Amino acid sequence: MAESYVREDIAAVEGLTSSAQALLHWADEVAGSAPAEHVYRNKEGRKTLRFGRGGHSYFLKLHSGIGWGEICKNLLQLRLPVLGASNEYRAVLALTELGVDTMSVAAYARFGANPARQHSMIVTDDLVGTVSLEDYCASWASHPPMFSTRLKILRKLADSAGRMHRAGINHRDFYLCHFHLDEQTLASASPTCHLIDLHRAQLRASTPRRWLVKDLGGLYFSAMDCGVSRRDLLRFMRWYTPGGLRPALTEHVSLWRAVERAAIKLYRKDHGREPPALAAS
């Protein structure tokens, strides 16, 4: 079984065809020649690296198959294994269709029917000039941003999460570090904030409650050191929930209580202490 896509700009620069096998051969060559300092991950059948072509910077994720042993280990741990680049490719297309800021795909290929040995890759544009929200918001507890900036980012996060979840997509690694902000767009009503690292995303007709809790709990956990206030939480709940704050605090109140418990549990596990108290405003 084979799938492939290549964008015209990179195809022209590299002389690529849309053949899945040709694209995978090219990706193997790019990965094999990458300097060590450009390789961000190389284990469990996946290699992630940055490379440049034609004056542009890209990221390549190359999947070489994780083997039946790793598949069985994941299933025994009640975790769905990541078999290749297909999840990420489909998630990017779906989020783009929904109007959620995410990555831009320059090339994609998948070849092979054996899930343990499937060969696949995805190339995305490097988000040059952006900053992760984890870094951007790191000093907010001691140096709060302008109120308008705080509101814009909160609203953007709630809007992206809501669109994604209502469409049946969950991220599984939904933390501030996986949102990349283009600071030059902060002057606009809705700044650009790209959601990345979608290789573990799941796509269904609807998102099960447990995965809503995992995603939202992870996002809240990652923001706990950023001076989050009770009003911030209420604003997020209002913008995330169809119908606003009233249904969030009535028919959906059990969801938000579960989200809070999940976030506190993650914080205790990761930091070995209680999370900071909510900011005053």
**Amino acid of residue 271:** H
φ, ψ at 243 (rounded to 5°): 95, -15
Count other C-beta atoms under 10 Å from residue 265's C-beta: 12
φ, ψ at 69 (rounded to 5°): -60, -45
- Strand 202-203 to 56-63 pairing: unpaired
Structure tokens at 158: 């709630």
Catalytic residue among 28, 125, 159, 173: 173
Task: Please state the length of the chain.
Answer: 281
φ, ψ at 179 (rounded to 5°): -110, 125
Q: Are 63 and 46 in contact (CB under 8 A)?
A: yes
Neighbouring-strand partners of residue 203: 169
Q: What is the CA angle 96-100-104, rounded to 5?
A: 45
User: Quick one: CA torsion of 135, 107, 90, 176, rounded to 10 degrees?
Assistant: 0
Structure tokens at 137: 């918001």
φ, ψ at 139 (rounded to 5°): -100, 5
For residue 28, indicate whether it is catalytic.
no
Active site residues per annotation: 173
